[in-house]
Structure 1
């Protein structure tokens, strides 16, 4: 498996270094033959090349089997005419990574605000919705009608609703067999109505999976009250963006939330959090989110190939992270006592023992 590794900005190089060490360890243990090719994007690329993502980098990523993307300072990249392309949005769009899959679970040893332990997955549509870069060929999706009136547009298509629904049902079929479709069709009758129609069609094709439906505000309340009730949550882009952060924090820290952006032919591992420039270079950043995201990337590849070796490697990383967290061999934010580098080494030790 050929992976392109882009360290990113802020804490990105530190957590990427820890993640690479984990990938190398699991590759040796399971005979994966991973080939990791390092390159740059973001501020380092802007400094060297005058652009955050070079055209030839896209070609390189398209030719590879996957991408590991470190956190990017996305708020810094506002003017594409000056080279400020948002790498995260760029790769999601160019590679058609339509499914953002965000597991969230509680870990023994990590204090959390949830009223009970839980283990769920948010499956978020990733290519349309209110996000301007994903619903307009050029220009913005907001219009200032008067100085005091703004109109924002959202694109929803049947094709994108259908494929995210089916992705969620496929995931649920490997878990407890339950899908929860989250919407606002009581108000957004056409767009979210279309989304629900496609979820119901997918349900008919997966008779072993049950589906229920929740209005998004009710789902937020239910997640706070009883997250253990839920398994695979599927929803549109903006609702999924919000609910996946909520569930990650309910688990104890967004630093424990993995995230893979997956399409038909490409996938990208990406930490659920940002670049945290205020702690960059201090050996304090939690690397688990990117490590768990890399495990998801291996799992995605395993499903494509039908490979037990890659599936086993993904499970081994997840187990090693859980054991390290429970042992307190983690960063301070999740109750540990180690720095970034030593936290990565704690996972590697478990993979090589």
Structure 2
């Protein structure tokens, strides 16, 4: 009998390790108390505090049943492990967070990862999802762009493994694993299925990195075979950037490793209006962090009442939907989009001269009119 169990174990260990778990977006009920939810709020650096204040004002006017646990953390000066531990513990306790950008200094030891990366890894927020969609009222080179960028969020070039083997020669390790590649591919196809999407494109550089990106592409192809109703193709990352600029409409859902996701995601955000207008989310099996789709602190306009709160407000609306507070989230998202469509109140990045406060008040007025 022992030999039989050992033999069966050997057989199963040799089978392809394709994960079949699906990802739920239902409300994390453990964070709800008396009909209210407690959410971790990390304003971050640059314009983050102004954006966080905008969300609080809109939530107050919309009577959103959310209480914020504020954590004042700066990526520029917070290197104390206790600070990171406090943030991670808060998100684990509440299940959900809304976060501004924590800046990452260029200087520092080679093994020091940014607080953003630390949080994503420690909480296993393996999927970054950015919905890049043109909005009526925002000028863009292409109309009717509607792309989902899904980025593996925990490995790749962001592993923080660098060293100088001899003076003048630096080795930077890119870590790609089959388990995590399969997991993000499965997430992308599940997302496409749930949201009625028709095509998934895997982005890679397998022609050069034949082992690392070759394995990622192989994982995507194997997962794609489980979803015959979803069209699948793949594209080399440099060609992808050119194709996005010339013909973005050919893309639907895109899935890719970590670094390519950062680059392609920012490109897509630029196609639809810039960093101020797109929301993003980082999802794991147990926790979620919502933020702007492009991680730019915009320190040059910090404290000047010039920041565009659109992206953060839409991220907050996505967070409410995640919490099961869909009517509140839909009201806020619709009010933001109504202000943009009317075109009467625009911040500088949208071609206007409205202040952050004036824009927020326009959103509030829409909420009061609609509610």
What interval of TM-score do these two structures reach, taking the shorter chain for normalisation?
Answer: 0.7 to 0.9
Identify the structure with bigger relative contact order (alpha carbons < 8 Å, sequence gap 6+).
1
Match of 2:296 in 1: 274
Under a length normalisation based on structure 2, what TM-score does the superposition of the two structures give? Answer: 0.81
Residue of structure 1 in register with 2:67 after alignment: 35
Q: Distance in 2 between matches of 1:214 and 1:314?
A: 35
Q: Which residue, 312, 324, 347 being the options, matches 2:339?
A: 324
Corresponding residue to 2:262 among 225, 241, 252: 241
- After superposition, where does 1:14-29 map in structure 2 within 5 Å? 14-26=50-62, 28=64
- Structure number with greater Rg is 2
SS in 2 for 1:254: coil
Whole-angstrom CA distance in 1 between matches of 2:209 and 2:113: 31
- The structure 2 residue matched to 1:119, chosen from 146, 150, 154, is 146
Residue 91 of structure 2: aligned partner: 61
User: Cα distance, 1:92 vs. partner?
Assistant: 0.7
Whether the aligned pair in 2 keeps the contact of 1:262 and 1:268 (CA below 8 Å) is yes
Matches of 2:222 and 2:322 in 1, distance apart? 24
How many correspondences in the alignment? 330
Counterpart in 2 of 1:97?
A: 125
Please report how far the alpha carbon of residue 25 of structure 1 lies from its aligned counterpart in structure 2 after TM superposition. 4.3
**Within-5 A mapping of 1:121-270:** 121-133=148-160, 141-173=161-193, 174-270=195-291
Contact 1:178–1:211, Cα closer than 8 Å, also in 2: yes
1:73 match: secondary structure: coil
- Counterparts of 2:211 and 2:331, CA distance in 1: 43
326, 329, 354: which is aligned to 1:338? Answer: 354
What runs of 5+ residues in structure 1 fail to find an aligned partner? 134-140, 302-306
- SS of 1:205's equivalent? coil
Provide the rounded CA distance (Å) in 2 between the counterparts of 1:44 and 1:120.
32
Query: C-alpha distance in 1, partners of 2:221/2:60?
Result: 42
SS of the residue corresponding to residue 260 of structure 2 reads helix
- Give me the whole-angstrom Cα distance separating, in 1, the residues matched to 2:55 and 2:299: 19
Q: Secondary structure at the match of 1:120?
A: strand
187-196 vs 35-44, greater mean Cα deviation:
35-44
Alpha-carbon shift at residue 352 of structure 1 (Å): 3.2
The alignment yields a C-alpha RMSD, in angstroms, of 2.5
Q: Give the superposition deviation at 1:101.
A: 0.6
User: Residue 72 of structure 1 corresponds to which residue in structure 2?
Assistant: 102
Distance in 2, Cα, partners of 1:248 & 1:205: 30
- Provide the C-alpha distance between the structure 2 equivalents of 1:36 and 1:340, rounded to a whole number of angstroms: 21
Deviations 1:141-162 (A, max 9, x none): 2232343332221101111111
Instruction: Tell me if the contact between 1:51 and 1:85 (Cα under 8 Å) persists in the aligned partners.
Output: no
Moved more, 37-46 or 229-238: 37-46
Do the aligned partners of 2:192 and 2:198 also contact (CA within 8 Å) in 1?
Answer: yes
In 1, the alpha carbon distance for the partners of 2:268 and 2:84 equals 35
